[in-house]
Amino acid sequence: MPRSALITGITGQDGAYLAQLLLKKGYEVHGLMARRGSDTLWRLRELGIEPDVRLVNGDMIDLSSLIRALERSAAEEVYNLAAQSFVATSWEQPLLTAQITGMSVANILEAVRQVNPRARFYQASTSEMFGLAGTGRQDENTPFHPRSPYGVSKLFGHWATVNYRESFGMHASSGILFNHESPLRGREFVTRKVTDAVARIKLGKQKALRLGNVDAGRDWGYAGDYVEAMWLMLQQTEPGDYVVATGRTTTVRDMCKLAFDRVGLNYEDHLVIDPNLYRPAEIDMLRGDPSKAKAKLGWAPRTSLEELIAMMVEADLKRVARE
């Protein structure tokens, strides 16, 4: 019998890569899909796995649908990736973010506890929980100081996961993942906004790229590498919390330069700073220390930022040329 997994957020960037990874490993892959007015399956199609995953209708705020999804899938591994995941939106819709990104983690934990408390559970936590962490490297012992309603909501999900592990002995793990990107990243996030603009500017379809704070630094990795860490966490005898990062920080400005250089353009000729894109509170710098993941999971990032940006620019050049 193949092992069965349920992925919430299967239509998102990480959900698609994780589904691909689990299918390769021989899992029966189920995914929770929220009802939307427009098509959300493009990522699964781009990876060529849409026919291979089993989609269950449901929504993170509807406990009954989560119970049904767990019963139907008979999942032994549950990956909770669903969220309102865009930081900027979380200031405009803080209550919705709190409900979907925060409270819903309690919904899925409760559903797992009721349907199959022995199932292994993964929570998609984030470096945004560290927030105002200073200039050092963040690891599993760094204090949290979130800087957005998104970060605050994720902190609830993180502690709910730790609490269900401690209260009920559930195999519940929290992956504190630093920013990870790919050609399947949403266009609202800065890396994809940049690589999409680079492709459009190169092909004569756009002139300028408007960005906010380009001095912010992020520890960017490749989503394809990071989903392996999620799987590894659930294969451990004991559950735990793990920082997943590259340990290298690059500013938005330098990432931009990398992307424009790739197609032989000077970013300074196209970049326009738009103060409207500054955030009410910023995280100036993030840099993770993935030593624990390396030591315990044997995980290490395989893709450099240069390779990642090259991959994203190539994909966007092809997409824009097809339009």
The residues of the shown chain that bind ligand NAP, judged by CB under 6 A, are 8-9, 11-15, 32, 34, 36, 40, 59-61, 81-85, 100, 124, 126, 177, 179-180, 186
CA 245 to chain CA centroid, Å, is 12
Q: Compute the least distance from the CB of residue 259 to ligand GDP, in Å.
A: 13
Q: Compute the least distance from the CB of residue 82 to ligand GDP, in Å.
A: 16
Do residues 81 and 14 lie in contact, with contact meaning Cβ atoms separated by under 8 Å? yes
CB-nearer residue toward ligand NAP: 10 or 209: 10
Tokens of 154: 């994720």
Residue among 93, 213, 291, 304 that touches ligand GDP (CB under 6 A): 213
User: Dihedral sign, CA of 141, 105, 152, 125?
Assistant: positive
Question: How far is it, in rounded angstroms, from Cα 111 to Cα 70?
Answer: 8
- Spatial CB neighbours of 101, under 8 Å, sequence gap ≥ 6: 83, 84, 85, 90, 150, 153, 154, 157
Binding mask 214-233 for ligand GDP (x = CB under 6 A): x-x-x---------------
Radius of gyration of the chain (CA): 19
Question: Of 8, 11, 101, 126, which is the active-site residue?
Answer: 126
Using alpha carbons, select from 214, 221, 195, 217 the residue that is nearest to residue 206: 195
Q: CB under 5 to 8 A by kind: which of ligand GDP, ligand NAP, none does 218 bind?
A: ligand GDP
Q: CB under 5 to 8 A by kind: which of ligand GDP, ligand NAP, none does 83 bind?
A: ligand NAP
- Please tell me whether residue 212 binds ligand GDP under the rule CB under 6 A: yes
Phi then psi dihedrals of residue 137, to 5 deg? -100, 140
Binding range to ligand GDP, per CB under 6 A, among 112-120, 138-146, 210-218, 309-317? 210-218
Q: Compute the least distance from the CB of residue 248 to ligand NAP, in Å.
A: 15
- DSSP summary character for residue 268: G
Give catalytic status of residue 128 as yes or no.
yes
Chain positions 259 to 278 lying near ligand GDP, rule: CB under 6 A, are 277
Give catalytic status of residue 150 as yes or no.
yes
Question: How far is it, in rounded angstroms, from Cα 284 to Cα 133?
Answer: 9
Chain positions 87 to 126 lying near ligand GDP, rule: CB under 6 A, are 87-88
Chain positions 60 to 89 lying near ligand GDP, rule: CB under 6 A, are 87-88
Other CB atoms within 10 A of residue 19 CB: 27
b/e map of 83-93 (b: 16 or more CB within 10 Å)?
bbbebebbeee
CB-nearer residue toward ligand GDP: 80 or 85: 85
Tokens of 61: 């705020």
Q: Where are the beta strands (DSSP E) in 98-219?
A: 120-126, 172-177, 180-181, 209-211, 217-218
- Please tell me whether residue 252 binds ligand GDP under the rule CB under 6 A: yes
CB-nearer residue toward ligand NAP: 27 or 150: 150
Question: Of 150, 164, 226, 267, which is the active-site residue?
Answer: 150
Q: Compute the least distance from the CB of residue 120 to ligand GDP, in Å.
A: 26
CB-nearer residue toward ligand GDP: 252 or 297: 252
Question: Of 128, 161, 249, 267, which is the active-site residue?
Answer: 128
Using alpha carbons, select from 138, 109, 141 the residue that is nearest to residue 240: 141
Give catalytic status of residue 195 as yes or no.
no
* Active-site annotation, residues: 126, 128, 150
Binding site for ligand GDP (CB under 6 A): 87-88, 128, 179, 188-190, 193, 211-214, 216, 218, 252, 277, 279, 282
